[in-house]
Structure 1
């Protein structure tokens, strides 16, 4: 379950059986999807894309459709057998979250769970964030920067990626 706990790890504390804990978790996730799925748990629509592009251009970033970054969350209860593959430079096991967000903090892409030993570039290789681009389904845009014409949108990053 979330945070690396087995479903039966809370039996004694909560006085719930494994099957009840799993059912509660399923009901919780179903409700989150029901409440927020139509607005947040999806790719941008054509209208969303136009809004994202407009907001980026107003902030001096024509063609930008969001900011992308990865973060490492410490996994306190990582199983001993998995600790090596999930341990990064900090010496603690972590799980990676890759997200794309707009300036209004609408997170419209999330990729969660690869081993913490991966750096941001390795995570991008495993994530689906560029699938539309690779399969020729990326949205077509038109913008110019320093006299060069561009036809594909981009994500703003913080400068660690190779040029």
Structure 2
């Protein structure tokens, strides 16, 4: 889509369900500035996020993580690839990480093929209207994924979400959690453990092209 709007941030899972998206105006805004303005970590900072702890090679980690590219900072919540990996372990991890990271591109490729409005120039529309169009398409996209039974996490109307007590913003716990998220040592520990874990996985698809759908591709120029 050629317009005055830019997709700044999006999170998708393996089932191409879009969990989070943030839109805004293009310009000098880069990925790091977008992250600083994003609310994606707010529920982690204030303690209201659900438990996402996990273990890798026997080592427990408190938070889940996002697969990102190299421009992002070394946060505990991020796992990025190696720019110039040495050794078979890191090379295999790089391929696996990049293969999994294409889920966002697959999700937007699927949306572009489904809705014609996302393929054509829309410079005559204002930013607010473009945001409404994109959010509407994302909601419909997720509804279709769920209706077709492809969603990893199916919606359960009977499920009750456990209430949490958010901590005070700016308080000691809040600040400590922000510092904890920015621990580069933990960032490297998680990645190193994942490198060893992935190396030991025999049946893993390292093909970077989506199967059976060569057109399922997203170019960020289409949304600038």
TM-score range, shorter chain: 0.3 to 0.5
Larger relative contact order (CA 8 Å, sep ≥ 6): 2
Structure with more of its chain in strand, by fraction? 1
